Amino acid sequence: MSKHEDNDPLGNTADLTEQEVPSGVDRRRFLMRSAVIGAAAVMTGRTVSANSRTLTAFNESLTQQPGPAPPLDKNLNVVKKGQGPVMTVIDEFYKVGPGPSSSHTIGPMRITYDFYQRAAKLPADKLAKATKLQVNLFGSLSATGKGHGTERAALAGLIGKEPATVDPLFLDSLRDKPDQVFPVKLGSSTINVSLKDVVYDATKGNFHHPNTMTVKLLAGNEVLLEQEYYSVGGGFIEWKGYTPPKKNAPKYPFRTMKELRAHADNNKITIAQVLLANEMSIMGRSADEVYAFVDKIINAMTATVKSGLSMSEDDVLPGPIKLHSKAATVYKRAMDDANVADRSVGMLSACALAASEENARGHLVITAPTGGSAGVMPSLVYALVEVRKVPLQKVREGMLAAAAIGYLCKHHATLSAAEGGCQAEIGVASSMAAALVATAHDAESLVVENAAESALEHHLGMTCDPVAGYVQVPCVERCAFGAVKAWTAYAIASNEIASRHRVNLDATIMALAETAKDMNSKYKETSEAGLALSVVLC
Ligand code: SF4
Residue 9, pLDDT above cutoff 50: no
| Calpha distance 255→298 (Å, rounded) | 26
pLDDT, residue 73, reads 73
Which residue among 422, 430, 472, 485 has the greatest number of ligand 1 atoms within 8 angstroms of its CB, and so is best to mutate? 422
Compute, in angstroms, the gap from residue 175 CA to the centroid of ligand 1.
22
Q: According to the model, what pLDDT value does residue 1 have?
A: 36
- Give the Cα separation of 333 and 328 in Å (integer): 9
In sequence order, what are the residues at sequence separation of 6 or more whose Cβ sits closer than 8 angstroms to the Cβ of residue 311?
325, 327, 328, 354, 357
For ligand 1, mutation pick of 525, 533, 534, 535 (most atoms within 8 Å of CB): 525
pLDDT over 90 percentage in the chain = 81
* Minimum CA distance residue for ligand 1 atom 2: 422
Tally of CB atoms within 10 A around 221: 7
Report the C-alpha gap between 16 and 7 in whole angstroms.
Answer: 13
**What was the pLDDT predicted at 16?**
42
Give the Å distance between the CA of 170 and the centre of ligand 1. 24
- Cα–Cα distance, 282 to 356 (Å, whole number): 32
Q: What is the number of other CB atoms lying within 10 angstroms of the CB of residue 38?
A: 20
Q: What is the pLDDT of residue 168?
A: 87
Q: Which numbered atom of ligand 1 lies nearest the CA of 370?
A: 8
Residues 6+ apart with CB under 8 A from 59: none
Distance CA 78, CA 94 (A): 17
72: pLDDT strictly greater than 70: no
Q: What is the pLDDT of residue 83?
A: 73
pLDDT band at 158 (very low <50, low <70, confident <90, very high): very high
354 lines ligand 1 (CB under 6 A): no
360 lines ligand 1 (CB under 6 A): no
pLDDT digits (tens, 9 = 90+) for 98-142: 999 999 999 999 999 999 999 999 999 999 999 999 999 999 999
**How confident is the model over 415-426, as a mean pLDDT?**
96
C-alpha dist (Å) from residue 87 to 46, 84, 258, 397:
65, 8, 16, 19
Higher pLDDT, 57 or 269: 269
pLDDT (tens digit, 9 = 90+) per residue, 333-359? 999 999 999 999 999 999 999 999 999
Ligand 1 centroid vs 472 CA: distance in angstroms?
8
For residue 10, what pLDDT is reported?
37
Confidence of residue 462 (pLDDT cuts 50, 70, 90): very high
Per-residue pLDDT band at 76 (split at 50, 70, 90): confident
Give 349 Cα–ligand 1 centroid separation in angstroms. Answer: 17
In eight-state DSSP terms, residue 458 is T
What's the pTM value of the predicted model, to 2 decimals?
0.81
Q: List, for residues 223-232, the tens digit of each pLDDT value.
A: 999 999 999 9
CA 426–ligand 1 middle distance (angstroms): 7
The verdict on whether omega for the bond into residue 250 sits within 30 degrees of 0, i.e. cis, is no
Distance 179 CA to ligand 1 centre (A): 29
Euclidean distance between CA atoms 245 and 91, whole angstroms: 14
Q: Whose CA is nearest to atom 6 of ligand 1?
A: 475
Distance of CA 425 from the midpoint of ligand 1 (Å): 7
Q: Which atom of ligand 1 is found nearest the CA of 371?
A: 8
Of 327, 344, 439, 331, the C-alpha closest to 388 is: 344
CA distance 286 to 276: 9
426 lines ligand 1 (CB under 6 A): yes
Better pLDDT: 25 or 326: 326
**Closest C-alpha residue for ligand 1 atom 8:** 372
Question: How many degrees, rounded to 5, is the angle at CA 182 between CA 176 and CA 185?
Answer: 160
Whether 124 and 91 have beta carbons less than 8 Å apart is answered as no
Is ligand 1 within 6 A of the CB of residue 420? Answer: no
State residue 230 phi and psi, 5-degree precision. Answer: -135, 130
- Percent pLDDT > 70 in the chain is 85
pLDDT of res. 313: 87
Neighbours of 429 (CB within 10 A): 38
* Distance from Cα 372 to the centre of ligand 1, integer Å: 5
Q: Which residue has the higher pLDDT, 115 or 313?
A: 115
pLDDT at 64: 45
Whether pLDDT at 369 is above 80:
yes
Q: Is 466 in the pocket of ligand 1 (CB under 6 A)?
A: yes
* Alpha carbon of 390 to ligand 1 centroid (Å): 30
Residue 45: predicted pLDDT: 56
Residue 493 has pLDDT above 70, yes or no: yes
Evaluate: CB of 475 within 6 angstroms of ligand 1.
Answer: yes
Whether 474 is in the pocket of ligand 1, judged by its Cβ within 6 Å, is yes
**What is residue 336's predicted lDDT score, i.e. its pLDDT?**
97
Residue 524 Cβ < 6 Å to ligand 1: no
Q: What gap in Å lies between CA 301 and CA 52, rounded to an integer? A: 60
Nearest CA to ligand 1 atom 3: 422
Q: Is the dihedral of CA 195, 198, 202, 205 positive or negative?
A: negative
Strands, E assignment, 50-188: 96-98, 132-137, 182-186
Residues 6+ apart with CB under 8 A from 491: none
Q: What is the mean pLDDT of the chain?
A: 89
* Ligand 1 atom 4 nearest Cα: 464
Over 50: is that where the pLDDT of 11 sits?
A: no
Distance (angstroms) between ligand 1 centre and the Cα of 106 equals: 15
Nearest partner of 446 among 379, 390, 391, 502, judged by Cα: 502
Write the DSSP string, 413-451.
S-S-HHHH-GGGTHHHHHHHHHHHHHHHTT--HHHHHHH
> Is the CB of 208 inside a 6 Å radius of any atom of ligand 1?
no
pLDDT exceeds cutoff 50 at 378: yes
| pLDDT for residue 27 | 52
